[in-house]
Structure 1
């Protein structure tokens, strides 16, 4: 039995089992040995706890969180649950088989990750698929290992942006892994120019590989291949697993970005090139971008990193600070939330913010 945050509360034997043991001990030996039941009295007595038994920790009523909380005086107009979804008969197998929600996490050393990608209220209402994607993995050899976190937001007007976001986040991770040793060395040297070159090489390689694959796939469809059909943003955060290395690197194309929770407040980072970690330009992969932006960020244990698509970063920066305060309170506590708690918190609703929402948070224990 677990409490609301998943911590075992009663790792002991259920008292009802002790009741049964006491009952069988009271039976004549011949009856127990023969495996026959004792005669049932007309009105069975109420079972009494056996001497020394620990009371059961079962709750009196089932615990339910209910629908996600909302900020503001009124909840959003859309219902807070999935409605229709694409059908296989629509001809888009990927969309029809994509889950409404993805939930993930990991722990390596002092780093703990929680990640959720949720279909937005507007897509729930329309019955279209989730266009966001995310990746949580490790790259590099043991002596240059890094935690790789990625979020991608398919452009809403692009026909196959859900495919683009999913594919680019995964294939870019593979290409970044190929450059892991060089990225690690540049990160340790705080060489932002070299990091930008390496990130651009990896992401451009992934985009080229996918463009070829998508073009081949389009040969079997009546619609010719077009880059803009797969348009998506991409943000990748690389965190060395060595706790002595305090720099992190963010590689970005398009909107969305990274926040740091410091002293109960969400802050944008201050990268070396002075551009800010949030990029609102309309750049997108695989074609409509100039280069991959690479920035360095230094953090200390106890700070929480939040990587997200604009479904989370936009309401986080709205004029009314209630949304930001709620998430700061939920994720700024000493204990890391369970996966289910994190999902429920990440679904906090705000009127007019109905896009897909993908958020990855990283907690780091102190020394």
Structure 2
């Protein structure tokens, strides 16, 4: 990378009249702007104030300060819970190199941020490289997908998170592809899923989920095995090992049922009455199912959990980078996020990202979290 850019020198060198190929008198504002190429106008003009009836440009390296900017506060380092912050530095450090011969890892961003509003539903989603991966210079192994599937009469939001197994060499590829391939297959099954949701038929939903994940897994396997042959290397399922959780939510507010398809740890929580409640119970009705199954080899282990949701509740879908600290004995982390995400205001994208990065000692894994709010009737 090149050295830091001196923005002041940049503007001095490029804002002169000779640079744009014409001379302009000092007060000839219209001529000045007529001589600017279109790409330069955004850099040159921040505000144009009226003075003596003539527009005068105000150039600045930064946008003009708003009247109430004095009350703004920089977020700074993400906050932490507990007596001491984690030992790792709270910022991205090294990153993968193209020379590592893993193009996918080299071009994977440390942070993904997404959001949407669909009718009365609002989504905020973030996937953040963990402190340990930042320290090692390895890539983020988590993945997420936020999209819509199905025809208009059976449309659903699809929210998916996946956590690549740390010991698997290509799990970052496995997690990324698993969320997208499963979304494509479930789109083809959307009408069947929608009918089963309306009928609250958990058995039917479990069957659909198992078949969909099996089909997605088989397509991925075929592609990965072909690539391995082309690159003259062995193929093994465990190289791509990843967990997967997919939440489907009808966009029709009259349908109150949701379904979660799950393989492996992580899962769903519901913020209700200021407390985080497991949304994907185990068969005995206890805590979240934290089995170690992972795709692609565990495609027969898909669990389907039917959930009835009410407006005002917050659904949180996450990898174990966030679900594990939510369930720790010290409730400070859970209480902190309950206060941040259970208030009257839905956070902006940037606020959500900052809140999602709340740190807790001993929890340094990648963290992916998708929250869903629903406006009351």
TM-score by length of 2: 0.82
CA separation of 1:17 and 1:270: change in aligned 2, threshold 3 A: closer
CA separation of 1:81 and 1:363: change in aligned 2, threshold 3 A: same
More displaced 10-residue stretch of structure 1: 266-275 or 71-80: 266-275
1:281 matched to 2:291: yes
Task: For 2:284 and 2:313, locate their aligned partners in 1 and report how far apart those are by CA, in whole Å.
Answer: 21
Return structure 1 stretches of 4+ with deviation > 6 angstroms: none
Cα drift, residue 62 of structure 1: 6.5
Q: 2:191 aligns with which of 181, 193, 201?
A: 181
Cα drift, residue 271 of structure 1: 5.6
- In the other structure, the counterpart of 1:66 is 76
Cα drift, residue 276 of structure 1: 5.4
- In the other structure, the counterpart of 2:201 is 191
Alignment of 1:331-342 (within 5 A): 331-342=341-352
Cα drift, residue 63 of structure 1: 3.3
More displaced 10-residue stretch of structure 1: 188-197 or 267-276: 267-276
Alignment of 1:340-359 (within 5 A): 340-359=350-369
- In the other structure, the counterpart of 1:98 is 108
Task: For 1:272 and 1:353, locate their aligned partners in 2 and report how far apart those are by CA, in whole Å.
Answer: 23
SS at match of 1:290: helix
Cα drift, residue 270 of structure 1: 6.6
SS at match of 2:122: strand
Contact 1:114 1:361 in 2 (8 A): yes
Say which one has the larger Rg.
1
Alignment of 1:90-129 (within 5 A): 90-129=100-139
More displaced 10-residue stretch of structure 1: 183-192 or 58-67: 58-67
Task: For 1:277 and 1:248, locate their aligned partners in 2 and report how far apart those are by CA, in whole Å.
Answer: 19
Superimposed CA distance per residue, residues 285-326 of structure 1 (whole angstroms, 9 cap, x where no aligned partner)? 000353310010111100000000000000000000000000
- In the other structure, the counterpart of 1:39 is none
- In the other structure, the counterpart of 2:371 is 361
- In the other structure, the counterpart of 1:165 is 175
SS at match of 2:354: helix
SS at match of 2:246: strand
- In the other structure, the counterpart of 1:152 is 162
- In the other structure, the counterpart of 1:235 is 245
SS at match of 2:230: coil
Task: For 2:281 and 2:172, locate their aligned partners in 1 and report how far apart those are by CA, in whole Å.
Answer: 30
Q: 1:268 aligns with which of 268, 272, 278?
A: 278
What are structure 1's unaligned runs of at least 5 residues? Answer: 1-15, 26-31, 36-54
Q: 2:258 aligns with which of 248, 260, 263?
A: 248
Contact 1:250 1:295 in 2 (8 A): yes
Task: For 2:80 and 2:209, locate their aligned partners in 1 and report how far apart those are by CA, in whole Å.
Answer: 38
CA separation of 1:273 and 1:352: change in aligned 2, threshold 3 A: closer
Aligned-residue CA RMSD in angstroms?
A: 1.9
Contact 1:80 1:121 in 2 (8 A): yes
Cα drift, residue 219 of structure 1: 1.6
Cα drift, residue 161 of structure 1: 0.2
CA separation of 1:272 and 1:322: change in aligned 2, threshold 3 A: closer
Superimposed CA distance per residue, residues 79-111 of structure 1 (whole angstroms, 9 cap, x where no aligned partner)? 011111111111000000000000001110100
Superimposed CA distance per residue, residues 322-356 of structure 1 (whole angstroms, 9 cap, x where no aligned partner)? 00000000000111100000000000000000000
Give the number of equivalent residue pairs.
322
Q: 1:220 aligns with which of 218, 221, 230?
A: 230
Task: For 1:220 and 1:63, locate their aligned partners in 2 and report how far apart those are by CA, in whole Å.
Answer: 53
1:86 matched to 2:96: yes
Superimposed CA distance per residue, residues 198-229 of structure 1 (whole angstroms, 9 cap, x where no aligned partner)? 11111100000000000111123343111000
Cα drift, residue 60 of structure 1: 3.5
More displaced 10-residue stretch of structure 1: 301-310 or 263-272: 263-272
SS at match of 2:115: strand
TM-score by length of 1: 0.84
Task: For 1:363 and 1:60, locate their aligned partners in 2 and report how far apart those are by CA, in whole Å.
Answer: 31
What are structure 2's unaligned runs of at least 5 residues? Answer: 1-46, 56-64
CA separation of 1:250 and 1:219: change in aligned 2, threshold 3 A: same
